[in-house]
Structure 1
Amino acid sequence: MARTSAMPSALSEVENTMNRINMHPGVQGLFVTMADESSGEYGALKTRVLFRDEESDVAMKRDQYSACCTALATQAKTATRDLDPTDELKFIRIRTKKVEIMIAPEKDYTLFCVQDPNAKA
């Protein structure tokens, strides 16, 4: 991935955000994907995955979560743009019985958080 002067700033912002979110109760995992400037494709940022428990279901399925969430975010961005070219996707939240997935797309990266929806604050 080609690096630009904006990349270190984005990485610092990502690190700070991930550390802050990881302190919240119920967070099971955090993923970050960054756009490859040459292709515009998104790929998992090297080792920027945090888990509370490496043996958890989320940790064991890290590649599957990362791939599915990235595809979902890409399709949601496309659908938003197709519905209204002047609009922009800001946040996606999906809640199931077992997990809640939150996706926050930014210009240089997309942050994914998987948490237990039943965790007590």
Structure 2
Amino acid sequence: MSAIEETLQRIERASNVTGFVILDNAGNVLRYRTDMGEENARLLATCFKPLLERSLSAVRDLDPTDTLNFLRVRMRELEVMAAPGPGFVIVVTQRWWPTDWPVGKV
């Protein structure tokens, strides 16, 4: 089993993970969690890819020597995380609850 397969299985085993999508740099869906469904995978790619591109651009504009390694967006009950790589982006969605947040702890 390849390192990529092992990493994807580790991500899928997390109890709060609801899906993942792997995109190429053009935003095309290369792979997704099967129970997520192809339509939801494409919707996530369509919605999140422009945000990631703008975030990458903003970081470069602030400091041309810097790069964005990870982006996390937290909503009411869903968290979307993206990690850009060379030629691909992996986007993971997971459920979270306010009780998961360490209040008063930094």
Which interval holds the TM-score relative to the shorter structure? 0.7 to 0.9
Q: Which amino acid aligns with 2:27?
A: Y
**Match of 1:61, SS?**
helix
Instruction: Give 1:31 deviation, angstroms.
Output: 0.4
Structure having the larger proportion of residues in helix: 2
TM-score (norm 2): 0.78
**Cα deviation digits, residues 12-70 of structure 1 (max 9, x gap):** 554332221111111000001113xxxxx33221xx1105x458xxx763322111111
| 1:44 and 2:34 aligned | no
Q: What pairs up with 1:1-121 in 2 under 5 angstroms?
A: 12-35=2-25, 41-45=26-30, 48-51=31-34, 53-54=35-36, 61-118=40-97
Structure 2: tracts of 5 or more residues without a match: 101-106
Give me the CA root mean square deviation.
Answer: 2.3
The runs of 5 or more residues in structure 1 that have no matched partner are 1-11, 36-40
Aligned equivalents of 1:28, 1:60: Cα separation in 2: 15
Structure 1 consecutive aligned stretches of length 4 or more whose deviation exceeds 6 Å:
none
Q: Tell me the TM-score normalised to structure 1 length.
A: 0.70
